[in-house]
Chain A
């Protein structure tokens, strides 16, 4: 199971890097979404994918019994998904506003903040 997920993470990262090498900012963003999902899967897999019982603690006990799944990676991934979602929503709106105002999605044509050096 871990091997399968690891291969999927690899495939996602490869696709993401391919997309991010594009000059089109929108393609770059799609690549970013892919690679961020790859990172989430990576955390999930590195916590161990165990087909065990859910991590429920009996009433009155301080710790779960032996042989339950690790709940921490799920908590971490959930946080990371929420944060990532917020950031992408912002980035998408920013690129849209940029497209409206700058009239281009080509990163090579965005030279306002980094003007060409005057000879």
Chain B
């Protein structure tokens, strides 16, 4: 397949699935359209990754207008890896949704919105110009708004208002940044910008870089811009919060990684110094927030914040090892975090709530679920030999290589605190008996629901263990992604052709 087919495929498939799923929304079997669409998208992503690993970055000009004038789709190793991991998450959540989403929500078009969200996420990963990045962000945002308030419970409306307003502010900042950058450089193609900013006034470019930092920072939920996240992610249905937790903030991190390695490298001492402070404060505030919560999903939401800090840390250090750690962390985190939210959904179904003070007995009644919780929870906290251990190890090593002792110490301390809040969930929800004396059992669910809920959780837990036990190939791919980020020559050559 030529790049002109391979690159748009991960966007076309979810959009086509969305149209089909919308047409069949009143049909109970419409959900299998969503599952099939997600599976096909995953296959397209794998084909793309295989091609990129074999040939290096590939690009396609939509409508045959040459770059930098036309719309460019481009995939380097990082983009392709992100598309594959999006496919994995989408497939897992689509299967899970078969048992989690009510018929009423399906009739309102849940599956169609979900597929549009996936298309938006893939678009943001694959686009090669800044204005299209904005458009894909909007596609992603508007469908996430719909998913967040779908069902119309009072808590969802409250969470929705906060989520919508704060995300709109960040979008407008991002858009203003695009306008100013266009005014200064006269181009919006990312590869072209790499050269254009070097001729521009460095002071102006740094100001614009700060605007992008704030705009993407809100989306990525970094300190001090993360307050919308723990206010919103615990309100929607469990499938929705799992896909939000896995993918949405990570698009912000991806955008930061792309912009601050490809475009804004003219004043590294300022921008990446700022990123370093942001990263450390994000890690610490997130984990302290988690320690104060007593709702299953709110604890996990605050953990997202602290984990984002680790990824931004990798970007801020800007060494090959640190960037490799950030990419590895990104992939590991999406799998683990989405999985933990899925587990919280099962706990809610069988124990009757997510407030850990009011449920219990999950270990006694559902030992299998407890095991499936422990794997991602230990991985998140960084126990060897699970995937999180390698991710944290690399980042701590990278900070020590730069003699940043305090950063490494903070990263380790935050890891310890993560274990503390995970044991809180374990101790109350799983170990202690249920306050009403009831015994939550998986067998209380119908067999079909049990399969749909547990299969994705078990598959993602297995993936975590596999990454942990055989990290070598994953590290190699991450190293390659990091090398391409630090030396974007191949990326630029793929986009601009001979002009570079």
Contacts and interface: CB of A to CB of B under 8 A. Distances in A.
Interface of A: 20, 25, 28-29, 32, 35-36, 38-39, 42-48, 72-73, 76, 79-80, 83, 86-87, 90-91, 94-95, 97-98, 101-102, 107, 110-114, 117-118
Contacts of A87: 138, 141-142, 145, 164, 168, 171
Interface string B145-172: 1100100101101111110110011011
B182 interface: yes
B168 A91 contact: yes
A119 B418 CA distance: 22
B172 A35 contact: yes
Given A46-B180, A73-B182, 4 more contacts: A39-B175, A90-B142, A112-B155, A113-B232
Interface string B209-240: 00000000000000000000011101100000
Given A90-B145, A114-B231, A29 B165 contact: yes
A32 B234 contact: no
B157 A94 contact: yes
Interface residues of B, number: 39
B164 A46 contact: no
Contacts of B146: 90
A83 B141 CA distance: 11
A46 B172 contact: no
A11 B164 CA distance: 25
Contacts of B152: 97, 101
A101 B184 CA distance: 47
Q: Which 6 A-B pairs have the closest CB atoms?
A: A46-B183, A43-B179, A113-B159, A112-B158, A98-B157, A113-B158
Given A97-B157, A113-B155, A42 B165 contact: no
A113 B234 contact: yes
B131 interface: yes
A43 B172 contact: no
B319 interface: no
10 contacts: A35-B169, A46-B180, A48-B183, A79-B131, A90-B142, A94-B157, A97-B152, A112-B154, A113-B158, A118-B294
A92 to B, nearest CB: 10
B292 interface: yes
Contacts of B131: 76, 79
A105 to B, nearest CB: 10
Nearest to B173: A39
Contact of B135 (A25, A45, A79): A79
Contacts of B149: 94, 97
B176 interface: yes
Contact of A91 (B135, B164, B172, B175): B164
A1 B184 CA distance: 18
A46 B155 contact: no
Interface in B311-332: none
B251 to A, nearest CB: 17
Contact of B292 (A25, A38, A110, A117): A117
B178 interface: yes
Max count, chain B CB within 10 A of own CB: residue among A46, A79, A111: A46
A81 to B, nearest CB: 11
B165 A91 contact: yes
Interface in B41-77: none
Contacts of B180: 42, 46
Contacts of B162: 110, 113-114
Interface string B379-412: 0000000000000000000000000000000000
A74 B142 CA distance: 23
A98 to B, nearest CB: 4
A110 B232 CA distance: 12
Contact of B145 (A35, A48, A94, A97): A94
A117 to B, nearest CB: 7
A86 B145 CA distance: 12
B158 A102 contact: yes
A39 B161 contact: no
Nearest to A37: B172
B305 to A, nearest CB: 14
Contact of B157 (A20, A101, A107): A101
A102 B157 contact: yes
Given A47-B182, A79-B135, A98 B165 contact: no
Given A102-B158, A112-B155, A113-B158, A42 B176 contact: yes
Contacts of A107: 161
A95 B161 contact: yes
Contacts of B160: 94, 98
